[in-house]
Amino acid sequence: MKNLPENLLEKLETRMLNNALRKLSLPNNLIDFASNDYIGFSKNKTIFEQTHHYLTENNILENGATGSRLISGNHKVYQEAENYIAKFHQTECALIFNSGYDANVGFFSSIPQKRDLILYDELCHASIRDGIQLSNTKSYKFKHNDFEDLERLIGNFNGDNRGNLVNTSNFQLPTSIYIVTESVFSMDGDCPNMEELIAVSEKYGCYLVVDEAHSLGVFGSTGEGLVQMLGLQNQVFARIMTFGKGLGCHGAAIVGSQELCDFLINFARSFIYTTGLSPHSVAAILVGYQHLETEKNAINSLRENIIHFNQEKNILGLKPLFVRSKSAIQSAIIPGNQNVKSIASKLQEKGFNVKAILSPTVPEGQERLRICLHSYNSQEEISAIMYCIYSLL
């Protein structure tokens, strides 16, 4: 077989020299502080058995979808799951995509049009950025959770201080402005002030889009997510609900108006041109949502563990090390790839599965330990890992 081209080999070599080369690792038996399985649904035996029962009871014995949803893959489980999701999230419509990545790429590459404008938080996920790159519209990032900076950008494009960003001789007001954020940021674990952000979007007539990937299963009495917990779902244009985290399975849904779903079915290429999820995958999504309404003990346990973790920060004097977070994601900033990898390795030797997040995944100097909390972590385990971090610094 042919070798990799020289210029690609050089890029791999650079990664190795920077101690940033990614490699796949097998599962281990360490105490889980790394996965996104926040309330333990991926390992929930009842969900597994009820998914199988649902399929056999309904005589659904297919292994695959057999085609795209517009051709032959729109099996009947989709309709039941999407109706349930829409009702659960108190919205008109839900449209399931094969993954959170597919949902974001499909949304941002199709919804914003040529004369529109996208303003996105600088820490938005790579899938959002990739979707924006595929769109035909202009986009600008605003400083993380800084809504004064967001208003400045909106003002520039609404005709105030135009010269800062645009050529006034060719200036045209955007047809629509889309504001994009996440309810929980995947690397920092912090949340925007949703009430303030909605006030800004309504003040300027913008369309607010919120990725709730790390909020589903974590916020709200039934894990409905941050936006809905705050009662703000009617003020948000679209929410992206991802199932590979709190729901413990796979896939994602975009929830919003019926017209939004109709448009995506017709124009979102990552929806149109891919084989649908198997009936088993969609059934697992449906059963997972049903369990959100009954597994309140798991959601409450996670919430108590988050509180306990933050208390341990204060007791051990580690609060300045961590990004402020009330979510299941807790990040300790430890600059330097080698430095943070060394500490992560020592924690693993002590029995804790913790991952180091390296540059270029995060900016240089912002390397970190990313600790994920779960409903099934004991408070003794949380105290133990915090003491280990304290002793290693």
Residue 167: the pLDDT is: 41
pLDDT at 172 over 80: no
Distance separating alpha carbons of residues 252 and 103, to the nearest angstrom: 7
Distance separating alpha carbons of residues 128 and 107, to the nearest angstrom: 9
Residue 170: the pLDDT is: 53
Distance separating alpha carbons of residues 258 and 112, to the nearest angstrom: 17
| pLDDT tens, residue by residue, 237-261 | 999 999 999 999 999 999 999 999 9
Residue 301: the pLDDT is: 97
Give the rounded percent of residues in the chain with a pLDDT score beyond 90. 90
Give the DSSP letter of residue 124.
Answer: -
pLDDT at 187 over 90: yes
pLDDT at 163 over 90: no
Distance separating alpha carbons of residues 181 and 125, to the nearest angstrom: 9
| pLDDT tens, residue by residue, 329-386 | 999 999 999 999 999 999 999 999 999 999 988 999 999 999 999 999 999 999 999 9
Residue 165: the pLDDT is: 41
pLDDT average, residue stretch 287-310: 96
Q: β-strands 117-121, 329-333: how paired?
A: unpaired
Q: What type of residue is 250?
A: H
Distance separating alpha carbons of residues 389 and 393, to the nearest angstrom: 6
Domains present along the chain, CATH in parentheses: 28-42+295-392 (3.90.1150.10), 49-292 (3.40.640.10)
| pLDDT tens, residue by residue, 303-339 | 999 999 999 999 999 999 999 999 999 999 999 999 9
Which positions ≥6 away from 62 have C-beta within 8 Å? 75, 278, 279
| Between residues 136 and 390, the one the model is more confident about | 390
Q: Count helices and strands (H / E) in the chain.
A: 14, 12
pLDDT average, residue stretch 108-115: 96
pLDDT at 171 over 80: no
Q: What type of residue is 175?
A: T
Distance separating alpha carbons of residues 95 and 85, to the nearest angstrom: 9
Q: Are 362 and 247 in contact (CB under 8 A)?
A: no
| pLDDT tens, residue by residue, 127-156 | 999 999 999 899 999 999 999 999 999 998
Structural tokens at position 43: 């390992």
Distance separating alpha carbons of residues 239 and 241, to the nearest angstrom: 6
Which positions ≥6 away from 5 have C-beta within 8 Å? none
pLDDT average, residue stretch 224-241: 98
Q: Are 77 and 286 in contact (CB under 8 A)?
A: yes
